[in-house]
C-alpha cells in the first residue's frame, strides 16, 4: 500500500510539473500577444512579459537536453513536428516532459503490478506515447485544415470578385475561418507584412503543413500569376475539386472504420489481459518473467506489433 501511495505521489508530482510548464508557456504567449496588439508607444513593454524566468538549474537542464536532441536530430524534425502540432515546447522541454511522464508511468505500473517487467515496459512505451500524441495532434489539425480549406478558398474567391486584393481577401477570410485555418493564414499575413511575397509565404506554409491539397493551390496560383487569368474563377474551381476529394476521403474513412477499430481492439487485448491476470493473480504469471517465459512474452509482443502494423497498413488508403 505504501508503494502504491508513493507511486501515485510521484506520478502526481510529475503531472503538476508538466501542468506548470504548460501554464507558464501559455501565459507568456498571451502576454506577448497582448503587447503586440497594442499601438506603438501606448505603454512600455515589460521584459518579464516576453522572456522566461527559469532557474539556472532548470534552464541548464533544458539546454543540455536541447543539445542532445540537436546531435541526434540535425535536420530539426522534432522541432518541425512540434511546430506543426502547435505544442508550445522547445525540443529540449518536450524531451524532459516525455522523460518525466515515462518515469511516472513506470512507477505507477510497478506499484500496481509489483513486477519490474511492467516498470521497464512503462519506461519504454513512454516516449512512444509522447510520439503518438504529437502525431495525433498533427493529424487532427491536418484533417481540420483540409475540411475547412474549400470553404476558405470559396470565401477568398468571393472577396476577389467583390474587388478586394488577394492579401485583403486572405485577411477577411482569417476573421471568419476557425482554427487551425485562421492561425496558419494569419501567420502568412504576418510574413507578408514583413516583406515576403504572398506566393512564397503560401509555399512555405504548404511545406510546413505537408498537405497535398494546399500544394496544388500554391502551384495553381503560381501558374495563374505567370500566364494570367481570373484568380477568383481558379479558386472556385479548386474549392469544388478539393471538396469532392474531401467527400471521397470521408467515405473511405467510413468504409475502413471497422478494420481500424479491430486493429485497436486486437492490439490492446493482449497487454490488457497480461496486466489483468498479473494484477488478479501475481503468482500465476511469475514463471513468465524469467527464462523461456520472458522469450515467449517478447516474441508475442513482436507478433502482436507486426500483426497490428499489417492491419493498419491495410486500412490506410491514400486519397
Gap between the Cα atoms of 126 and 105, Å rounded? 7
Does residue 235 form part of some domain? Answer: yes
Q: Are residues 237 and 163 in the same domain?
A: yes
Beta-carbon contacts of 136 under 8 Å, excluding residues fewer than 6 positions away, are: none
d(CA 18, CA 81): 19
- Cell 487569368: give the residue: 229
In this structure, what are the phi and psi dihedrals at residue 43, rounded to the nearest 5 degrees? -155, 160
End-to-end CA distance of the chain: 53
- At which of 246, 267, 290 does a domain end? 246
**Structural domain ending residue among the three candidates 122, 150, 181:** 122
Contacts 24+ apart (CB under 8 A), 165-169: 166/198, 166/231, 167/192, 167/198
Q: How many domains does the chain have?
A: 3
- Does the model's pTM come out above 0.85? no
Same-domain pairing of 262 and 239: no
Residue 37 has a pLDDT of 56
Domain shared by 290 and 233, yes or no = no
Would you list the DSSP string of 43-62? SPPPGGGTS----HHHHHHH
Do 97 and 178 reside in the same domain of the chain?
Answer: no
Regarding whether 227 and 263 lie in a shared domain, the answer is no
Residue 129 maps to a domain: no
Together in a domain, 33 and 80? yes
Q: What are the two backbone dihedrals, phi and then psi, of residue 108, each rounded to the nearest 5 degrees? A: -65, -45
CATH number at residue 237: 1.20.81
In a shared domain, residues 216 and 260 = no
d(CA 206, CA 196): 15
Q: Is residue 107 part of a domain?
A: yes
Q: Is residue 289 part of a domain?
A: yes
Q: Per the domain annotation, does 47 fall within a domain?
A: no
Give residue 189's domain range.
Answer: 142-246
Q: How many CB atoms lie within 10 A of CB 105?
A: 22
Residue 179 maps to a domain: yes
Q: Are residues 164 and 102 both part of a single domain?
A: no
Asked if residue 292 and residue 218 are part of one domain, the reply reads no
pLDDT in tens, the chain (319 residues): 555 555 555 555 655 565 555 555 556 556 655 555 555 445 554 544 445 555 565 566 767 777 777 777 777 788 888 888 888 788 888 888 888 888 888 888 777 777 777 788 788 888 888 888 899 999 899 888 988 899 999 999 999 888 888 888 988 888 888 888 888 888 888 888 888 888 888 888 888 888 888 888 888 888 888 887 888 898 999 999 999 988 988 898 888 888 889 888 988 888 888 888 887 887 887 888 777 888 888 888 889 889 888 988 888 887 7
Give the cell for residue 203: 509555399
The answer to whether residue 72 is domain-embedded is yes
Separation CA 231–CA 28 (nearest Å): 40
Same structural domain for residues 236 and 318? no
Last residue of a domain, one of 246, 280, 304: 246
For residue 135, being part of any structural domain is answered with no
Same domain, 1 and 118: yes
SS3 100: helix
Q: Do 260 and 295 fall within a single domain?
A: yes
CB 62 within 8 A of CB 93: yes
Amino acid at each position: 500500500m505504501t508503494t502504491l501511495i508513493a507511486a501515485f505521489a510521484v506520478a502526481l508530482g510529475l503531472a503538476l510539473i508538466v501542468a506548470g510548464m504548460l501554464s507558464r508557456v501559455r501565459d507568456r504567449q498571451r502576454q506577448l500577444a497582448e503587447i503586440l496588439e497594442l499601438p506603438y508607444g501606448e505603454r512600455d513593454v515589460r521584459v518579464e512579459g516576453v522572456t522566461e524566468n527559469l532557474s539556472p538549474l532548470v534552464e541548464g537542464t533544458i539546454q543540455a537536453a536541447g543539445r542532445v536532441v540537436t546531435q541526434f536530430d540535425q535536420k530539426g524534425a522534432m522541432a518541425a513536428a512540434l511546430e506543426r502540432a502547435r505544442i508550445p515546447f522547445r525540443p529540449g522541454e518536450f524531451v524532459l516532459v516525455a522523460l518525466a511522464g515515462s518515469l511516472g508511468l513506470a512507477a505507477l505500473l510497478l506499484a500496481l503490478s509489483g513486477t519490474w517487467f511492467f516498470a521497464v515496459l512503462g519506461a519504454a512505451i513512454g516516449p512512444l506515447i509522447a510520439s503518438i500524441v504529437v502525431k495525433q495532434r498533427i493529424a487532427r489539425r491536418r484533417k481540420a485544415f483540409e475540411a475547412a480549406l474549400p470553404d476558405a478558398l470559396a470565401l477568398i474567391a468571393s472577396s476577389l470578385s467583390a474587388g478586394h486584393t488577394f492579401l485583403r481577401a486572405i485577411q477577411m477570410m482569417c476573421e471568419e475561418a476557425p482554427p487551425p485555418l485562421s492561425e496558419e493564414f494569419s501567420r502568412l499575413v504576418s510574413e507578408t507584412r514583413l516583406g515576403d511575397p504572398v506566393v512564397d509565404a503560401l509555399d512555405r506554409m504548404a511545406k510546413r503543413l505537408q498537405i497535398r491539397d494546399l500544394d496544388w493551390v500554391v502551384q495553381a496560383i503560381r501558374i495563374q500569376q505567370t500566364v494570367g487569368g481570373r484568380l477568383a474563377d481558379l479558386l472556385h474551381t479548386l474549392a469544388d475539386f478539393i471538396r469532392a476529394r474531401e467527400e471521397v476521403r470521408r467515405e473511405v474513412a467510413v468504409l475502413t472504420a471497422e478494420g481500424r477499430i479491430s486493429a485497436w481492439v486486437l492490439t490492446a487485448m493482449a497487454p490488457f489481459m497480461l496486466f489483468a491476470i498479473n494484477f488478479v493473480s501475481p503468482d500465476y504469471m511469475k514463471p513468465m518473467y524469467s527464462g523461456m517465459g520472458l522469450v515467449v512474452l517478447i516474441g508475442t509482443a513482436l507478433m502482436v506489433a507486426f500483426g497490428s502494423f499489417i492491419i493498419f497498413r491495410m486500412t490506410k488508403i491514400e486519397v
